[in-house]
Amino acid sequence: MSEIISTSAPGKVILFGEHAVVYGFPAIAIAINRRVKVSIIEGNETSKSLFTPDLFPKNQFDLTNEHIIPEQLKAIFFLLKKTKVIERLSYGQQILIKSQIPPSAGLGSSAAISVSLAMLGTILSNQELQLENINKIAFEAEKIQHGTPSGIDNFVSTFGGGVFYLKNSLKRIDLSKISFKIVIINTKVTRNTKDLVLLVKKRYEEKKDYVQELFNEIKTITEQAKVYIEKGNIDKIGELMNENQVALEKLGVGHKKIIEAINILGNEGALGAKLTGAGGGGCVIGIFDSKEESSIAVQKAKEEGFEAFTTEPSKIGVIENGIKKD
Ligand code: MEV
């Protein structure tokens, strides 16, 4: 099976400001060096199909039959239709989606898929590649997937690097002065961003003043963090992450597995740790200034039954991997 064309886009971690960002408050996120790759493959079958081995390992879906596409793949199908990829595929060709990003874990895997597909569609249609447009198209799919997302996930995945995100506006954050190792622990408690965003909405409607106060706290933390990131003060960044975690727990998106993971990171010397993304399970991040300590933390987390790995910020947003000619 030969690859005709492929695109790829990164996952992300939110360092500060998740949930509050949905209500127009700022957040800070960085792209990470784990990616999704989307390819068109010349297969040996006669249909137009979709294969997502990291999401549904055993299944291959016939793209010409909308009725058999499972609910979880609706956003992908929407994008393939909207960008006319299905129309342009020849019979016998397959869309293959491979991901290094654990799904439903807060690391932006769905956004990375949407962004990669949006770029694939743009390339196939011979339109000019404008990242703003790719971001916009991906955001439409994110709305199908997550209800009322802020847009931060697709934004970071499209543009890469560090981003201070405020109401759809991009401010790059200069990451050149800080150097840290990020340990990600996946609690393996799968959850759904849409449900958690709805849970916070419900709390907001029930206890508006209290939640508003928490959002204001998170805003102050995020604004301070921007300054410390740009100054390269990693100790302060760690302290602020811990403060952000307390506010997220008060917001109701904590979980006992999150606390367990944070404790492992703290015991092994993390300068700060918090949940990342929607919470309720998913992933926890901790930052370290020592490579040795970060490796030990990964090891300890694995011994306790978690999935864990170290990651680094990535400047590379969505890219075309190259057209291979037979
Ligand atoms: C999801 O990665 C982060 C949330 O803030 C939702 C969003 O921003 O769309 C929970």
Both structure tokens of 108: 């932006």
Indicate the top mutation candidate among 22, 165, 200 to test ligand 1's pocket, ranked by most ligand atoms within 8 A of CB.
22
64 shares a domain with 169 = yes
Range of the domain at 279: 181-311
DSSP string, 148-212: S--SHHHHHHHH-SEEEEETTEEEEE--TT---EEEEEE------HHHHHHHHHHHHHHSHHHHH
- pLDDT tens, per residue, the chain with 326 residues: 688 999 999 999 999 999 999 999 999 999 999 999 999 999 777 889 999 998 887 788 999 988 888 888 999 999 999 999 999 999 999 999 999 999 989 999 999 999 999 999 999 998 888 999 999 999 999 999 988 899 999 999 999 999 999 976 778 898 889 889 999 999 999 988 999 999 999 999 999 999 999 999 999 999 999 999 999 999 999 999 999 999 999 999 999 999 999 999 999 999 999 999 999 999 999 999 999 999 999 999 999 999 999 998 999 999 998 554 44
Does a structural domain hold residue 115?
yes
Domain count, the chain: 2
Residue type, 226: K
204 shares a domain with 307 = yes
DSSP state of 315: -
The Cα–Cα gap between 324 and 4 comes to: 6
CATH number at residue 157: 3.30.230.10
225 shares a domain with 158 = no
Closest CA to ligand 1's atom 2: 277
171 shares a domain with 62 = yes
pTM for this predicted structure: 0.93
Kindly state if the Cβ of 156 falls inside 6 Å of ligand 1: no
**CA angle at 325 for the pair 321 and 326, rounded to the nearest 5°:** 135
Kindly state if the Cβ of 243 falls inside 6 Å of ligand 1: no
10 shares a domain with 136 = yes
Backbone angles phi, psi at 93, to 5 degrees: -95, 150
25 shares a domain with 150 = yes
Identify the domain boundary among 176, 200, 231: 176
**How far apart are the CA of 170 and the centre of ligand 1, in A?**
16
DSSP string, 1-50: -EEEEEEEEEEEEEEE-TTGGGGT--EEEEEEEEEEEEEEEE-SSSS-EE
**How far apart are the CA of 150 and the centre of ligand 1, in A?**
6
C-alpha distance from residue 128 to each of 121, 151, 197, 326 (Å): 11, 22, 34, 25
Indicate the top mutation candidate among 12, 14, 114, 284 to test ligand 1's pocket, ranked by most ligand atoms within 8 A of CB.
14
- Beta carbons within 10 angstroms of residue 17's beta carbon: 29
Is residue 153 flagged as an active site residue?
yes
Beta carbons of 40 and 70 less than 8 angstroms apart: no
288 shares a domain with 140 = no
Kindly state if the Cβ of 142 falls inside 6 Å of ligand 1: no
Residue-level length of the chain = 326
Closest atom of ligand 1 to CA, residue 200: 10
The Cα–Cα gap between 271 and 287 comes to: 6
The Cα–Cα gap between 315 and 287 comes to: 18
C-alpha distance from residue 87 to each of 26, 64, 79, 82, 83 (Å): 39, 9, 12, 10, 9
Kindly state if the Cβ of 12 falls inside 6 Å of ligand 1: no
The Cα–Cα gap between 284 and 154 comes to: 20
The Cα–Cα gap between 113 and 80 comes to: 11
170 shares a domain with 30 = yes
Q: In a 10 Å sphere around its CB, with 0-12 CB exposed, 13-18 middle and 19+ buried, how is residue 4 labelled?
A: middle
Kindly state if the Cβ of 22 falls inside 6 Å of ligand 1: yes
Kindly state if the Cβ of 107 falls inside 6 Å of ligand 1: no
Closest atom of ligand 1 to CA, residue 22: 8
186 shares a domain with 143 = no
